[in-house]
Structure 1
Amino acid sequence: MSFTDTAIIGAGPYGLSLSAHLSAAGVVHQILGQPMRAWINFMPPGMLLRSEAFASNLHAPLSGFTLEDYYRQKGMRYQPMGMELPLETFVDYARWFQSNLVEDIQAVDVVNLRRVDGHFQLALSDGRSLLARKVVIALGLKGFAQTPVALRGLPERYASHSALYGDLAWAQGKDVVIVGGGQSALGLAALLHEQGSRVHVLMREAGVIWHPRPQASRGILSRLARPDAGLGRGWRSLFLSEYPGLFHMLDQGRRKQIMERSYGASGAWWLRDRVVGKVKISFRTEVRSAAIDNDQVILRGISEDKESAVAADHVIAATGFKTDMRQHAFLSKEIVDAISVNSGLPELTSNFETKVRGLYVIGPASAHSFGPVMRFVYGARHAAPSVARHIAHSLKADARDGVWSSAEGHVLERTGE
């Protein structure tokens, strides 16, 4: 049995940022998972990030490790706003950040997490076990894909969720219907069209909200009227981007209202010319049933207040995600029951700690407690230092109060993975 002070489950932007902060605080920890796995395996090549470059930094405890620093080192031209940021470049930046600030990553999955005698026992996919005083779940949107009822039960050959892509070469020359009207749907539509797929987008909204290309240089009056922020432009965006602690202080009903009304279906400025006039879009459309007929998916519903039917070789649900901690199969029932409220949402303290002492949740799963900023990379600048600080102080307090006895075991040995 190996032992560590803190185990981080997940090695994406939040997990890597937290690891860097824990190292700076002198906290012995293990980060578990394949680095940037979701970004590498489940996002299509050629995708551009929705966030502006200045809002796409992993967060380090010291200067010199922003995206701008990476661009400068590589001799590439950088713009904080109005610059297209390819997925591949962002992943390379994260790897550079990791190589400089994250000492060791164990490329394993956690298959079981449970409480044992006041600490956490983690069973790992390679057969090893790990004992930890603190655990941080930093898994992004994994397991939270939300599929419309009408599309559930269709064979994988004919239907999938946008969370699964990935290379899109399988769809070349095929008829593909995308259900959804947000960034994910529109981004996939552009990439599929450009590789030769015939794409039809079905969205419930009356039209697409296209964000204008941001202007990096603005007058002082314009900046005062609508300040730039990590999630967009305006005072509302500034509040949601920079003050997640204040968001956490709101009552649950108000937080839910803000989450439901903020940053809905829309498209980035760099997508408009790749979609408008090139991809077929049906507005005010609701899919009510789906069936397989003659080796095609037949979607029936209402479009513009009329009954409609659409046929395709494949349908992709780009219908977002819904946080539900019960979907994490590795969590013991005891832990799930303790941390889940409101249909699986975790209830978190101001330090991102769940009702189970020593267990933290960061990233998108913390958004209902700290606001929509946690759905974006930008939120790592708030979560990583806050959680690292709380863990470091908590461990010191526990040691001082004699809560932890000396534990036998050793930190997981470095592997060649």
Structure 2
Amino acid sequence: MSLTDTVIIGAGPYGSSLAAHLRARGVDHQILGRPMLAWRNYMPPGMLLRSEAFASNLHAPRSGFTVEDYCRQKGIPYEPMGMALPLEMFVDYALWFQANLVGEIQPVDVVNLRRVDGHFQLALSDGRSLIARKVVIALGLKGFAQTPPALQGLPERFVSHSERYGNLGWARDKDVAIVGGGQSALGLSALLHELGARPHILMREADVVWYQRPQAARSILSKLKGPDAGLGRGWRSLLLSECPGLFHLLDNAWRERIMEKSYGASGAWWLHDRVVDKVKISFRSEVRSASIDNDRVVLRVLTGNQEVSVSADHVIAATGFKTDMRQHAFLSKDIADEISVNGGLPELTSNYETQIPGLYVIGPASAHSFGPVMRFVYGTRHASPCVARHIAGSLKVGATQRVWSAGEAPMPERTGE
């Protein structure tokens, strides 16, 4: 059985950034997960990041490891704003960051996490077990997909969620209905169209909000009226980008109101010309029911004041995510119940710690406590140094430089596995 001070579950942007900070502080830790798994396996090739290049940095404990630094080393032209950042380039950058700052990443899954005598015991997919004083859940949105009731229960051959893609080659020359009107729906529609599919977007909203291409060279007055920020232009975006601590001080009602009204159905500037006049969009549309007829999906859609039928070979639900920690199958029931205090949302301290001492949550699942910035890579600049500082400060003097001896370790209970 291996013993360590801290385990990080997840090897994406948040887990990697935190590992880099813990390593710099000399905190004994292990990071578990396949490096950048969701980005590599569940996002379509050719996708561009919604965030601007300057806002897509993993957070390092020292200078020299931004997207700009990576581009300089690779001889790639770089612009902080207005640069289309391909998925493949971002993944390569993140792997470069990991190779230089993170060290060993164990490509295993956690199959069970439970508390034993005030510590944490983790069962791993390779049959090993770990005991840790502290655990940080640094996972993305996978597993939290939200599919409309009308589409639930249909065979996966006909209906899927946008979280699953992935290569889109299967859709060539097919009719694909996309339910949703945000960046995910618009981005998938552009890629599908360019691959030779026939996408049809069904969105509730009356129109698409298109963000304008950012301009690096703006007057001082223009910047004062609408400063550039990690989440977009404007003072509201600046506050949400840079002040997650203030968001944390708000009560639940205010947090929910801000989350509901922030960064809804909209499209990045680089999508406009790839979608408008190329992809069919039905506005004010709501899917009421779905069935399979003659090997196709038939949707009954309320559009305006009339109900129409939409037929497709496949339907993609680009309908977002809803965080519910109880959906993590690896969490023991007592842990899941204790940290899921608001419909599955974790209530976190100012240090990202759950109600269970020593258990932290960072990344998109922390957005309810710290705001929409945590749904983006930009949030690593806040979460990573904060959690690393808190973990390092809470460990006993001298415990950060060594692994527990066998005599110090808690005796694990028998699991029956």
Would you call these one fold, judging by a TM-score over 0.5? Answer: yes
- The answer to whether the Cα contact below 8 Å between 1:288 and 1:301 also exists between their aligned partners in 2 is yes
Structure 2: distance between partners of 1:397 and 1:115: 23
Match of 1:105 in 2: 105
Q: Deviations over 1:327-384 (max 9, x none)?
A: 0000000101110112100010000000000000000000000000000000000000
Match of 1:82 in 2: 82
Pairing 1:13-412 to 2, within 5 Å after superposition: 13-396=13-396, 407-408=408-409
Which deviates the most, 34-43 or 296-305? 296-305
Query: What's the CA shift for 1:304?
Result: 1.9
Structure 1: distance between partners of 2:288 and 2:408: 57
Structure 2: distance between partners of 1:372 and 1:200: 28
Structure 1 gaps of 5+ residues are 410-417
Query: What's the CA shift for 1:396?
Result: 3.0
SS in 1 for 2:178: strand
Structure 1: distance between partners of 2:350 and 2:342: 18
SS in 2 for 1:204: coil
The one-letter amino acid of 1:294's match is N
Match of 2:415 in 1: none
Structure 2: distance between partners of 1:142 and 1:20: 23
Query: What's the CA shift for 1:408?
Result: 4.7
The one-letter amino acid of 1:220's match is I
Query: What's the CA shift for 1:305?
Result: 1.7
Query: What's the CA shift for 1:301?
Result: 2.2
The one-letter amino acid of 2:136's match is V
- The answer to whether the Cα contact below 8 Å between 1:187 and 1:271 also exists between their aligned partners in 2 is yes
Which deviates the most, 301-310 or 162-171? 301-310
SS in 2 for 1:105: coil
Identity %: 77
Structure 2: distance between partners of 1:397 and 1:297: 62
The one-letter amino acid of 1:182's match is G
Structure 1: distance between partners of 2:47 and 2:397: 45
Structure 2: distance between partners of 1:397 and 1:205: 56
- The answer to whether the Cα contact below 8 Å between 1:81 and 1:215 also exists between their aligned partners in 2 is yes
Structure 1: distance between partners of 2:260 and 2:138: 23
**Total equivalences in the alignment:** 406
Structure 1: distance between partners of 2:50 and 2:145: 19
Q: Tell me the TM-score normalized by structure 2.
A: 0.96
Structure 2: distance between partners of 1:263 and 1:398: 45
Q: Deviations over 1:246-265 (max 9, x none)?
A: 11001111011000000000
Q: Tell me the TM-score normalized by structure 1.
A: 0.96
- The answer to whether the Cα contact below 8 Å between 1:3 and 1:407 also exists between their aligned partners in 2 is no
SS in 1 for 2:80: coil
SS in 1 for 2:205: coil
Structure 2: distance between partners of 1:131 and 1:190: 46
- The answer to whether the Cα contact below 8 Å between 1:8 and 1:135 also exists between their aligned partners in 2 is yes
Q: Deviations over 1:264-310 (max 9, x none)?
A: 00000000000000000000000010000110000002012211110
Structure 2: distance between partners of 1:69 and 1:78: 9
Structure 1: distance between partners of 2:409 and 2:63: 37
Query: What's the CA shift for 1:398?
Result: 9.9
Which deviates the most, 388-397 or 174-183? 388-397
Query: What's the CA shift for 1:315?
Result: 0.1
- The answer to whether the Cα contact below 8 Å between 1:19 and 1:31 also exists between their aligned partners in 2 is yes
The one-letter amino acid of 1:264's match is G
Match of 2:413 in 1: none
The one-letter amino acid of 1:255's match is R
Which deviates the most, 302-311 or 184-193? 302-311
SS in 2 for 1:271: helix
Structure 2: distance between partners of 1:399 and 1:81: 43
Structure 2 gaps of 5+ residues are 411-417
Query: What's the CA shift for 1:397?
Result: 6.3
SS in 1 for 2:209: coil
1:97/1:301 CA distance change after superposition, 3 Å: same
The one-letter amino acid of 1:31's match is I
1:187/1:72 CA distance change after superposition, 3 Å: same
Cα RMSD of the aligned pairs, angstroms, is 1.3
Q: Deviations over 1:162-206 (max 9, x none)?
A: 000000001111110000000000000000000000110000000
Structure 1: distance between partners of 2:343 and 2:123: 26
Match of 1:414 in 2: none
- The answer to whether the Cα contact below 8 Å between 1:58 and 1:378 also exists between their aligned partners in 2 is yes
